[in-house]
Each structure stands twice: as structure tokens, then as C-alpha cells.
Amino acid sequence: SLVGSVAFVRGWPSRRAVGVGELGTVAGKACRGPRRAGPADAPEPEPLAAPGGFAPPEPKPLSVTRPDLLPALLAGSIALLLRLLASVFVVGWRPGFVDDGERSLKEGTYALQLGPLSFRDGSDSIDGKLPRPAKPLVLYEYEASPFCRKVREALCMLDLPCEMRPCPGARAGFSDELRARAGRRTVPYLVDPNREVEMFESDDIVDYLFDTYGPGRDAVPFILRGPLATITGAYASVVRGFAGGKPEPGARVDNARRKPLEMWGYEASPFVKLVREKLCALMLPHVVIPASRGSANRDAMVKQKGRFQVPFLRDPNTGVELFEAPEICEYLQEVYTLRQ
């Protein structure tokens, strides 16, 4: 059947049936380990440093710090509504209360305090009911693809870290690496180094993820299935102007050979979207640490940083860590593009 992979012909997306049994990449068959872009003997990229005088901004949770970003944030919110809040919650999410939200944060657990009430999420992930991979999964994808979107949403719902290898327009970034690996430039393409599994097809990938790291494919929500997922995902990309769908002019040619950046966030957040779009357009590998409502990673961030706020970026190439979407995007633009 024709389900979720996308290839590009003369710049326009087309749906293609690509069975997971093709190209010797069926589930359960031994596969090559995750490769990185560039030939094996390619020189190491030149060292990078934070911009001169750089200082991380003060985190300002639940605030719009730049009025000029309101149109982009509004468009991201419309996209979220079009997707019916997909990926806002981890599977098995349930609300709860705690007596003292501030004390919970000091003790290293996430809580949201609104006036006199303090909320504490519960979920299958927090309860330890979901199998966890030892190594992050790898996904070849790009931001504007509706097929890739539903795989990213599934990863958030299952609270699964994943290394993203952007292929803007299915023709740039890690696209050459994907073609060398799998014989074509079709995305999404999942690599699970824990199970020696590689596969095309968004529907098959979502089923595999729920079977392997979730409550089973019968629990896949309707918003991740069929024409509804494709159509609403496409419209969600339209309202964002297909941001992240093509390479950034001036992006460094060695970006794909950098160490993967680490971004904490979740697919549904309009603030996180701004950073994801920039990372994809710059063709930067990055590990997404999902942090939807009910994510165990919210507790992990509180333990590490004493607060919860997304997006949050760690860059091992420069040693920089920072919150705040506008400043993250400016930082990425400064470090990972060449001045014209």
C-alpha cells in the first residue's frame, strides 16, 4: 500500500511505496552500523568556538521574549492544532498533584506550579513500563515532511531519544549518506542499532516503535495513521512555510561531520519548532531528547539544571549550553554558517 515515505522529483514531493523488505533492510536482518557523512579518510572539520563575547541568555520560562517572533509562534500553534495536539503527551499520561511544587524541583522532580496548585505528571515512561534502548535510534528525515513528522511525534509519545540526520528536501545534508546506505534518498528512514533493524515507510516505522518500545501497535493513536496524518501534517508544514525543508544559504559544508548536538524539546512546542527548523536547514546532526508531558526526561533536566524549560541546546562542538529559542537560533546561525 502507499504509505509514508517521501522522495523528491524535480523539487516536488511524491508518495512512493517502498517496502521494508527491499534493499535488504528488513526488520530483524543484520544491518550496517550507523555511519556518518563523508568518506572514512575525510579530515576532521576545523574546530569551532562560541561567538566572541557570547553569554548564554537568562532563561525566561513561559515568555515570548521577542515580539517579532509572534507570527512564527502563532503559525506553530496553528500547526499544533491541525495535528490535534499529537505528541503533547507521552503514552499513559495522567495528571496528578503534589503538595509543594518548589520543593519537588529542589528534590529533582518536575512539577508545574500554577498559583496555589502544583501539578505532577505521571506516565508509562515515568513508571518504567516502556522498554528503553541502550543507544539512541537514528532517523534520516527533514522537518517539513509530513511523513517524517508523524515518526517524530511517535518518538515523543514513546519518550525515545533519537539522533536526527537531516536531509532537507530529501536531496541535501545526509541524503548522500542515506543513498549510499540504503540505495535511495527516501525519508523517513529509521536505524535501530539496538536491534540491527533498518526500515523505510513511516507507518511501518511507527508500528515498529510501538511494538518494540511501547505498548504495541494496537495503541498507535489515530492521528498517526492514514490520510488524516498525512493531510494534517502537510497543512501543518504549509502554515510554517515549509521551514526546514531546504538548506540554509551559507551553511558550512562540514556541518554534517560535526558531533551531534543535543536538543531537549518535543515536536508539539512552537518554541522548539524554531530550533528544529534551524538545525534541519543547517543540516546539523542532533540528538533530540524528548520532553513531552509525562516524559521522564523532565525529571532528568530538573536534576541537571534545576529547572525545566525547552528548547535547551547542548553543543559538544563548542561546549556551549543555552535556553531560549531566539538566542539558540542566532547562535546556530553565527557558528554554523559562513559569512558572505
Q: What is the dihedral of CA 163, 240, 227, 263, to 10 degrees?
A: 20
Give the separation between CA 105 and CA 303, rounded to whole angstroms: 8
271-323 pLDDT, tens digit per residue, is 999 999 999 999 999 999 999 999 999 999 999 999 999 999 999 999 999 99
Residues 6+ apart with CB under 8 A from 277: 143, 240, 243, 244
Residue 10 buriedness (CB in 10 A; 0-12 / 13-18 / 19+): exposed
Check residue 64 and give its pLDDT.
81
> For the chain, how many helices (H) and strands (E)?
9, 12
Q: Which residue has the higher pLDDT, 101 or 256?
A: 256
3-class SS string, 62-118: CCCCCHHHHHHHHHHHHHHHHCCCCCCECCCCECCECCCHHHHHHCCCCCEEECCEE
What pLDDT score does 23 carry? 34
pLDDT in the model for residue 82: 93
Reduce the DSSP state of residue 122 to 3 states and report it.
strand
Q: What is the mean pLDDT of residues 256-275?
A: 97
Average pLDDT, the chain: 87
CA 322/CA 138 separation, integer angstroms:
24
The C-alpha atoms of residue 210 and residue 219 are separated, in whole angstroms, by 7
- The rounded distance, in Å, linking the Cα atoms of 60 and 77 is 19
214-227 tens-digit pLDDT: 999 999 999 999 99
- 3-class DSSP state of 44: coil
Q: What is the pLDDT of residues 189-199, one digit of tens each?
A: 999 999 999 99
* pLDDT of amino acid 41: 53
Cell of 232: 494534517
* C-alpha neighbours within 13 Å on the C-beta side of residue 203: 18
Q: What is the model's pLDDT at position 25? A: 34
Confidence of residue 3 (pLDDT cuts 50, 70, 90): very low
Residue 10 has pLDDT above 70, yes or no: no
| pLDDT at residue 205, rounded to an integer | 98
Is the dihedral angle over the CA atoms 41, 191, 174, 332 positive or is it negative? negative
Q: Residue range 52-69: average pLDDT?
A: 85
Q: pLDDT at residue 147 above 50?
A: yes
pLDDT at 27 (0 to 100): 37
Binned at pLDDT 50, 70 and 90, residue 21 comes out as very low
Report which of 206, 210, 238, 211 is spatially closest to residue 225, judged by C-alpha positions. 206
Q: What digits encode the pLDDT tens for the residues 165-192?
A: 999 998 899 999 999 999 999 999 999 9
State residue 26's pLDDT score: 36
Where does the pLDDT of residue 29 fall: very low under 50, low under 70, confident under 90, or very high at 90 and above?
very low
